[in-house]
């Protein structure tokens, strides 16, 4: 099966199906049983079944199975948001005294989360560039994971997952990849050596900008019983399933990070058109990026342009695609604001992965709590605009940006 067929046909209907073409919304909190004995079994993982939607739900389960299949993982856990997916993953692995190697080009919320974790004795070591060499040099005996985005949002630096995973394997630590901006259409990080993949499914997987949500996929490739993770305790005996089992039974469940059945349903609907949407978004992004490259007064950053330092990596790792985010620099904050205010089609909004084109000035919004140094390390300048390219007609988008650039006197 090729990609688009697999989106529709990989996961077979549930055995309780009545022939519904997509999984229905089980909008309930609890599931009743005929006997106390039965509920006891479900609670103790001795019988399959659902007890309470914070812990599991058939619609959520259907979504998780689709994502696990799509990424080639042994299982997936859906979460209330992308940030819930990231925080649950980190808290499932780490304890006080642990250190994580992290790229500076991360999403602003993730950078702030690492700062929050310092209050719990967890230290993040930020690297400008996360590669085999830099990771190997930075690892020490307290390092318990490497965390990177596959295509940094909004730095648009592309991570060499093969190289980084080699360094992780040598150090005996897991590689966690936030692949939100790359999407499973471009790349399956688990196949390149990542151990855990995270998506903010609020973005491309949902595709319609209608459901905050996230997902964690476990590749089943990491051995948690090496002695390096004493906090896994009894869970270590589950071998490759230890991460998923611990996650589901402890931190994810107990922080209440579950997704709502309705949002899981919206994501299932969105997922079915992921391939069609991404194809169009990438085409539009490349056309827009090429247009900006020809335009005086703006500079453009897009990994699929030969001018990008990540061009070769995008070629080998992402089959030459660059994702659907383009960033430009307009010359000054004032010009950037004027450009944005003059756009007819692009909405000024803090989101990516919608079918409609969205623009934002990251320095004054997503990175407003960051220091100047953090912003620059994340590729965010005072005059930067991030464009999340939608599925409109490329001609209309180019015409719109051309008139806004002229109106902003750039």
Ligand X SMILES: *Cc1c(COP(=O)(O)O)cnc(C)c1O
For ligand X, which is the closer residue by CB, 88 or 153?
Answer: 153
For ligand X, which is the closer residue by CB, 92 or 180?
Answer: 180
For ligand X, which is the closer residue by CB, 105 or 245?
Answer: 105
Question: C-beta of 134: minimal distance to ligand X in Å?
Answer: 20
Name the nearest CA neighbour of 6 among 75, 70, 65.
70
Buried b (16+ CB within 10 A) or exposed e, 219-233: bbbbebeeebbebbe
Name, in order, each residue with C-beta under 8 angstroms of 374's C-beta and a sequence gap of 6 or more. 104, 111, 367
- Which tokens is 112 given? 């702030």
Question: C-beta of 201: minimal distance to ligand X in Å?
Answer: 7
Alpha helices in 120-221 (DSSP H): 132-138, 161-171, 183-186, 189-192
What residues does 112 pair with on adjacent strands?
none
For ligand X, which is the closer residue by CB, 107 or 310?
Answer: 107
How far apart are alpha carbons 252 and 87 in whole angstroms? 9
Question: C-beta of 14: minimal distance to ligand X in Å?
Answer: 27
SS3 label, residue 55: coil
Phi first, then psi, for residue 99 (nearest 5°) are: -125, 150
Question: C-beta of 270: minimal distance to ligand X in Å?
Answer: 13
Question: C-beta of 16: minimal distance to ligand X in Å?
Answer: 30
Alpha helices in 355-393 (DSSP H): 372-377
For ligand X, which is the closer residue by CB, 110 or 143?
Answer: 110
Q: How many CA atoms lie within 13 A of 155 on its CB side?
A: 25
The radius of gyration computed from the CA coordinates of the chain, to the nearest angstrom, equals: 22
Alpha-carbon dihedral 155, 161, 163, 165, rounded to 10 degrees: 120
How far apart are alpha carbons 386 and 200 in whole angstroms? 18
For ligand X, which is the closer residue by CB, 209 or 405?
Answer: 209
For ligand X, the nearest residue by Cβ is 82
Question: C-beta of 109: minimal distance to ligand X in Å?
Answer: 5
Q: What is the DSSP letter of 159?
A: P
For ligand X, which is the closer residue by CB, 152 or 229?
Answer: 152
For ligand X, which is the closer residue by CB, 53 or 257?
Answer: 257
For ligand X, which is the closer residue by CB, 202 or 284?
Answer: 202
Q: Kindly list the residues in this chain that would bind ligand X in the complex (CB under 6 A).
A: 81-83, 107, 109-110, 149, 153, 178, 180-181, 200, 202-203, 212, 214, 352
Question: C-beta of 198: minimal distance to ligand X in Å?
Answer: 7
How far apart are alpha carbons 210 and 166 in whole angstroms? 38
Question: C-beta of 203: minimal distance to ligand X in Å?
Answer: 6
Question: C-beta of 406: minimal distance to ligand X in Å?
Answer: 31
Query: Residue 382, exposed/middle/buried by CB under 10 A (0-12, 13-18, 19+)?
Result: middle
If you search the block for the tokens 């010359």, which residue do you land on? 331
């Amino acid at each position: 099966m090729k990609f688009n067929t697999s989106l529709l046909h990989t996961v077979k209907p549930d055995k309780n199906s009545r022939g519904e073409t997509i999984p229905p919304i089980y909008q309930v909190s609890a599931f009743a049983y005929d006997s106390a004995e039965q509920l006891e079994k479900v609670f103790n993982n001795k019988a399959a079944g659902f007890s309470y939607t914070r812990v599991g739900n058939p619609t959520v389960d259907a979504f998780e199975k689709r994502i696990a299949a799509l990424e080639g993982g042994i299982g997936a856990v859906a979460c209330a948001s992308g940030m819930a997916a990231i925080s649950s993953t980190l808290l499932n692995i780490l304890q006080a005294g642990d250190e994580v190697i992290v790229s500076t080009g991360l999403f602003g919320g993730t950078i702030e989360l690492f700062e929050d974790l310092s209050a719990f004795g967890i230290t993040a070591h930020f690297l400008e560039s996360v590669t085999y060499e830099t990771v190997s040099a930075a690892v020490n005996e307290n390092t318990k994971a490497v965390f990177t985005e596959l295509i940094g949002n909004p730095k648009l630096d592309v991570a060499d997952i093969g190289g980084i995973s080699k360094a992780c394997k040598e150090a005996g630590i897991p590689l966690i990849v936030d692949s939100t901006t790359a999407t499973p259409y471009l790349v399956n990080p688990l196949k390149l050596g990542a151990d855990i993949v995270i998506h903010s499914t609020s973005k491309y997987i949902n595709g319609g900008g209608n459901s905050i949500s996230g997902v964690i996929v476990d590749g089943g490739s990491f051995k948690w019983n090496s002695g390096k993770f004493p906090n896994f305790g009894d869970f270590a005996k589950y071998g490759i399933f230890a991460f998923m089992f611990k996650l589901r039974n402890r931190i994810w469940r107990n922080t209440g990070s579950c997704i709502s059945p309705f949002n899981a349903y919206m994501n299932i609907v969105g997922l079915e058109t992921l391939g069609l949407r991404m194809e169009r978004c990438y085409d539009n992004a490349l056309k827009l990026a090429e247009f900006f490259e020809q335009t005086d007064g703006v500079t453009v950053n897009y990994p699929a342009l030969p001018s990008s330092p990540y061009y070769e990596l995008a070629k080998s790792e992402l089959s030459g695609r660059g994702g659907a985010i383009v960033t430009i620099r307009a010359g000054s904050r004032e010009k950037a604001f004027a450009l944005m205010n003059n756009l007819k089609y692009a909405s000024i909004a803090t989101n990516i992965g919608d079918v409609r084109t969205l623009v934002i000035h990251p320095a004054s919004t997503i990175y407003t709590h960051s220091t100047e140094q953090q912003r620059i390390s994340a590729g965010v300048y005072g005059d930067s605009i991030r464009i999340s390219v939608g599925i409109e007609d490329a001609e209309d988008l180019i015409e719109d940006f051309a008139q806004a650039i002229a109106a902003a006197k750039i």
